[in-house]
A and B are shown apart, each in its own frame.
Chain A
Amino acid sequence: MNQPHNESSVSHRGSMTLRPCTLVWLALVGLTLAMLVVGKMGLSGGNVVALLLVATLIKTQLVADIFMGLRQSRLLWRMIVTVYLVGVIGLIGLAWWLGNV
């Protein structure tokens, strides 16, 4: 027997309301396009990198929480991924800072 899984355990047929997973997909697309613009413009600097890393953290946490269904699981399972994401993305930021100061 499967556990209920986020928003998709609820029928949305006939509803005009967007599913949470659709909202997350739209957010992911928007943040990716913003990153492309930053890349195309060749923007750099501490503030730009910080924004890019925060956007990456938000995107990955959304995938983990909503797409992978960790939001519906006990905190431990969610925290493993969150600690990993904050740790890796934070250290990427530290490495950038070390190389650019």
Chain B
Amino acid sequence: MQQTTALTAGKEDYPPGDFVIWIVIYAELLAFGIFFLSYAFARSQNVELFNASQLELNRTAGAINTLVLITSSYFVVRSIAAIRENLQKQAARWMWAAIGLGSIFIVIKLFEFYTKYDEGITLSSNTFYMFYLSMTFFHFMHVILGLVILTIMATKIRHGDYTAQEHDGMETGANYWHMVDLVWIILFPLVYVIR
């Protein structure tokens, strides 16, 4: 969407990126919010089971993945900052670094999933694991989609498709990635830490 003049006090009419992505982002946040609240209120009915099962999770892996996603998001911000200065090579480097970190998230999460699978844990093991596996897998799929989007963006930067004057597509993809990060920032303490 073309951005227009600010109405008030230097504020923009619309957030950065295509307007449609914000509809997607708000819808995704709503879906994850329902997941989070379902988990939280299910836990309130069975605190001992949730606390005992939570102890079996790898908190360090969860925290490392949080740091990885936060840093990946930061790299995407830096990539956009570089494109605003028409520094295409620098922008591409930041974007590929963000993709690298996103890939590390995937590897760590697959390790966590494999560990649980190896322990014989499935969706039907108990209510905690039903939520843990479904929420983290749902998020995992969003990370994969996000990585596809970032890779397309990195390729387009290399081809010179984004400039300081026109990089709306980059803002759009970046905000999807930040949404994926934002959701994990809630998921990590909710599932791994709060007891």
Q: Mark A residues whose CB is within 8 Å of B.
A: 1-5, 7-9, 11, 13, 19, 21-22, 24-25, 28-29, 32-33, 35-36, 38-40, 42, 44, 49, 52-53, 55-56, 59-60, 63-64, 66-70, 72-75, 77, 80-81, 84, 87-89, 91-92, 95-96, 98-100
- Could you tell me the distance in whole angstroms from the C-beta of A12 to the nearest C-beta in chain B? 8
Bound-complex Cα distance A92 to B171 (A): 31
**Given A1-B3, A11-B85, A95-B37, A52 and B178 touching (CB < 8 A)?**
no
* Contact indicator B67/A32 (Cβ below 8 Å): yes
* A39-B16 contact, Cβ under 8 Å, with A11-B85, A88-B37, A95-B37: no
Instruction: Give the complex CA separation of A96 and B37 in angstroms.
Output: 11
Residues of chain B contacted by A92 (CB below 8 angstroms): 36-37, 40, 190, 194
Chain B residues within an 8 Å CB radius of A53 = 189, 194
Tell me whether B11 is interfacial, beta carbon within 8 Å: yes
Q: Is the CB of A63 within 8 A of B185?
A: yes
- 5 A-B pairs whose Cβ atoms sit less than 8 Å apart in the complex: A25-B71, A25-B74, A32-B188, A52-B193, A68-B16
CA distance A99 to B49 in the complex (A): 12
Please, how many angstroms separate the alpha-carbon atoms of A4 and B29 in the complex? Answer: 25
Bound-state CA distance A55–B43 (Å) is: 21
Kindly state whether residue B88 has any CB partner on chain A within 8 Å: no
Additional A-B contact list (11), CB under 8 Å, known A3-B12, A63-B181, A67-B77: A4-B12, A7-B81, A19-B81, A25-B71, A28-B185, A32-B70, A35-B193, A39-B192, A52-B189, A88-B36, A96-B40
Contact yes or no, B185 A59, CB < 8 A: yes
**A67-B73 in contact (CB<8A):** yes
With beta carbons under 8 angstroms apart, the residue of A67, A74, A96 that contacts B11 is A74
Residues B178 and A1 in contact, CB atoms below 8 Å apart: no
The residues of B with any CB-CB pair to A shorter than 8 Å are: 2-3, 7-8, 10-16, 22, 26, 29-30, 33, 36-37, 40-41, 43-45, 47, 55, 59-60, 62-63, 66-67, 70-71, 73-74, 76-78, 80-81, 84-85, 165-168, 171, 175, 178-179, 181-182, 185-186, 188-190, 192-195
Please tell me which one of the listed residues A24, A36, A96 contacts residue B60 in the complex, with CB atoms under 8 A apart. A36
Ranked 5 nearest A-B pairs via Cβ: A99-B44, A8-B81, A95-B40, A36-B63, A39-B193
Report chain A residues within 8 Å CB of B85: 11, 13
Question: Which residues on the B side are within 8 Å of A25 (C-beta)?
Answer: 70-71, 74
Contacts of A59 in B (CB 8 A): 185
* Cross-chain contact B185 with A5 (CB below 8 angstroms): no
